[in-house]
Every structure is written in C-alpha cells, then in structure tokens.
Structure 1
Amino acid sequence: MSHNSIHNNQTQFALLKQLLYHQHYQTMLKFLEDNSSWESQELSKLLQLGHAYIHTDLKTIEELSGQVEMDYLTKPSLLERRVYSYIQGLAIKLEIKEYDDYLRAITPLLVDVLRLTLENTVFPDLERYLVEVMKETDEGIPIYRGLQWNQSLIEADKNGKINRTWERYYGKHFNYSHYVSSSHLLKLVEDYVKDPKILKLAVQIRHIEKYARNIVAHELIYVDDAWLKHRLKIEAKEVHQQIINMINAAGLRDPQQWQGLASIQAAIEKELEKNYTKMSK
C-alpha cells in the first residue's frame, strides 16, 4: 500500500470518528455510499440504528436491533422505550447548546414520563382512559391527530379519580376535545401520588414548562445559560438532570437502557476500527 493511500485512510478514519462523536449518522452513511472501501453491512445497519435511536424511530429500532445483537433495546414497554430513546437523543441538543430546541422538545417527553409515573403508582390502567384520535384531512385521508381523554368512560364513574380532578380544576366544563397534555397529567399526579419526591420533581418540571418552555415554544428567543439562570435559577445541565430524576422516579432505571445510545456508538466505533485495520493491511 502506498504512503498516500495510508495517509488517505488515516484521514478518512479520523473524519469518521469525528462524525461519530457528534452522532452524524446520515452523513456517515452518505460517506459509505461514496467510499465503498469503508462500507460493510454491519456498519450500515449500526448507523441506521443510531439514527433511528436518536429520533425515536421505534419501528426501525425493532427491525435492526436483533440484527446487530442489541435486541435488549426492545425489551421495555413501548412507552418506556420511547422515553429511553427520546431523552438520549434530547441530550445531544444539550451538548451542542441548542437550548431553544431542547426546551421546545421537552413537552412530548413530559407527557410520556407523567403517564408512566401515574401508571406505576396509582393508575395502572391509565391507558384505557385514553383514546387515539383519527381525523380526515381536507382530501379525506384519515390521519392520527393525538390522544384525547375517554369522555364516556370517565363520566360514567362520577366518583372516579379522574372525574373528581376534572371537577376540582375545571368545574363541570372539562373540554374533552383538548388533547392529553402535561398540564392534565400533572394535576392527577398532584392529586393522587403520595410520594413526596415525585411531587417535588413534578413541581420542578411544571416550573420549567411555565417559565422557560412555554415562551420559547411561541416566540423566537435566544436561549443560553444566563437566560435560563435568570428565569429558572438553574442552568441547562441542571434542567436536564431534573428531567432525568423525574424519569427515574417514573420507574425507568435500567442501566442497560440508559446506555442504549452509548452502546450503539461503541459498536459503530468497533466496526470502523475493524474496517480500518482491514484496509491498512
């Protein structure tokens, strides 16, 4: 092998490792297409899995995880898998200081985390009170629009926990056309969950939504640690830690799942090194 070829391989290897460090999986896949000497089926599958994982593409994760000996990624419930995947993808925004996008992205995560909190404490059958809503577009195509509360089931039990909470906060006029929100779920947590640790975390999460997330979701605002410190008295890493604490309190404490993205990264790096070694001979 010529000196130029060796140097070129070294440069490409360093570039790929840098792209991997920043989770630029699609860029790496494009590089493999353009540089077939680096390509391998295993590496391509791992890169596709990495992209799926940080974007919470559960279908692709299910398809690929077993093919690369990571089928443990599909063992938790669908809701739990969604949270494990989403929070690790969200951490990337934190790392590159995209705090505005980070804050906008926390609401769907909080809905899932609060659902899990309720399911693992006082509402093991919470899912039966939720209804998937399908509505037609102007072209007559039915599409999924979100989750709403099951009005008939909730109102049938006048003394039920959910109905009592709705009456306490909304009187007789809870709007069932609204989609399930973190605000609804927080009220149920506050009314029925007795664990003081969870209640404290719920208050902290509501504080983050009220004073940081909500304004950023509706206005174009530059967010940095100073902005967060002014509004929340804490910086971005502390915000993230509070969300992780809430996820742990909801019952998601499996260390193997928390290392899901790190494991994919390590497997990709191992495959890159194997390919580099083979090319260098």
Structure 2
Amino acid sequence: MNNRNTRFSATKGSDLTRKTAIVCALFAALPYSQLNAQENAWSGLARSQFDSAALTLRIPCVVLEDEIGNSLPGFSPAFALNLLLISDDEDNQLLRLVEPLQEFAEVPASCLDTLKVSSDGTTATYSTNSTELDIDAAVYANRYYTIELQANLEGQGPIDFSVLSAESRIYRAPMFRGDTLLIIIPAPPFVADFIYDDALIVSSVQKVYTDLAVYEPSTIDVSCSYFDPLGLLELVDVVNGNSRYRLKSTVTAANNNTSFSVRCSVFNRDLNRDVIDIDILSWFIQI
C-alpha cells in the first residue's frame, strides 16, 4: 500500500468549499509530523480493533467519502486512524481523534470501514461492521461489533466522536456440507502417470460454492490449490496457464500412507478472515 507524503492536496484558499474547509479541520487537529508516522500502531491488524491497554480504537483503514459514497476531491481516499476513549460514561461515551494517522494514495482492497462527511460539512460519521476487542481474542474469537460514531466538525480544537450505536454479534462461520473424497494411489484412474491439472481445481471451487452453508450475509471467496507439503508431485508443464503435475517417479512403497490434496480456503472479505480450509480431494499413497 502506497502512502502519500503530503498531508493535503494543494487547494487555493479562495476556492475552498465549506465541506473542504471543515474536512481540513478534521485532520488539522494533529501535527503534520504525525501523519504517515508510526505505522506499527496498526501492525498485524486485519480489521479495526479496540486496544484495551491504550484505550484506543485502532482503525487500520477507513475510506473517506461523502454522503453518497463519492471520494472527496483534494484528499487521500483512505486513512488509518486512532480514536482514544476519553469518556466512558454510559450516556456520554467519547472517542477523540489522536496521533498518529496514516494516509493512502489508493484504497486498499482490505479496507472495511467508512468515514462519511455530511453534505453540509458539519459532521463526520464513522461506520464499521467488523471491529473486535483485543481482550476477546482468547475467549470470544468470533465476536464482532457493529459501531457507528459521529463527530461535530463545526467547533474548534480536538475532534471527538460520540457513540450513535454499538452492537455485538457472534459470527457463525460457513460450514462445508458436501462430501470430501479419499483416493488411494495407484487405483485407476489415478495411476502413476495420471496428470493433475487445473480441471480438478476448477471443479473443487465449484463444489465448495455449491455445498457451502453460509449463516451470515457476507462476501465469500473460495480458492483452491494443490497442497503437497511432502513434494510428492512434480510440475510437468504449463499449457495456456494450466499447470500440470504428476506423481514423481521417485515415489515408492517407502512413501506409503503419505498424501497430497486439493485444499480449498474460504475467505470472508467483510472480515478479512480465512474462515475454513477444506481438503476436498485427498490422495493417499498405497503402493
């Protein structure tokens, strides 16, 4: 992900719209030297996470846009932010925009959250469906929070976000309801010179999509590949992008009870999370 080195794109003062001026105020609350600094504040984060020790909501990526989802001219399209919890009163929870920040020249594919500026430029609303608490990791690995925060941009000084809504849920990962196949080599048709190619990969992807039970609306990607940690296969050739493999001639009875497989990974793009791996086809050596 490429970072920009400038804080804002140059804009003539006389041409500043009210919205642009107020968005400038949103980021002007922090020193220039802190923008694009201390990237390790979000190190290893696949999604927004509340850092309980620092009382800080760490947001590795948020898309900056207007109310209808368009980018704001003159500004980077996405940022990494930190929001410090400064008040935990039940009726007055507040999180303050604090250093450091980081800006991106392009929106990363992994960006999950949004920061919408109202049409009149008076408010900024942060929304996420995938925040987690660091202290939940061991006990509640599948607990996520849907949060909406809003800041008033008309005042001077720090930018404070109030909590409009916050709800938790237990994520129920997809389950594969189909059959997996165990195959003995060299039982026909999987004789010693059988060619393993992309046709088996494509059919495996289709089968996983067909037999996958999904319990929460989400964007799911399935990818499959040959999983051969023991190196039992060798590449024969690549024809029109189709990689073709066969069993190595050095595989003998000494390799009995070893295996390779077509392994399919199910990835939830709305959480940036691998949710299940399936060995849909597995070959066992029995010579």
TM-based fold match above 0.5: no
The structure richer in helix per residue is: 1
Relative to its length, the structure with more strand (as a share) is: 2
Q: Which has the larger radius of gyration?
A: 2
Higher relative contact order (CA 8 A, sep 6+): 1
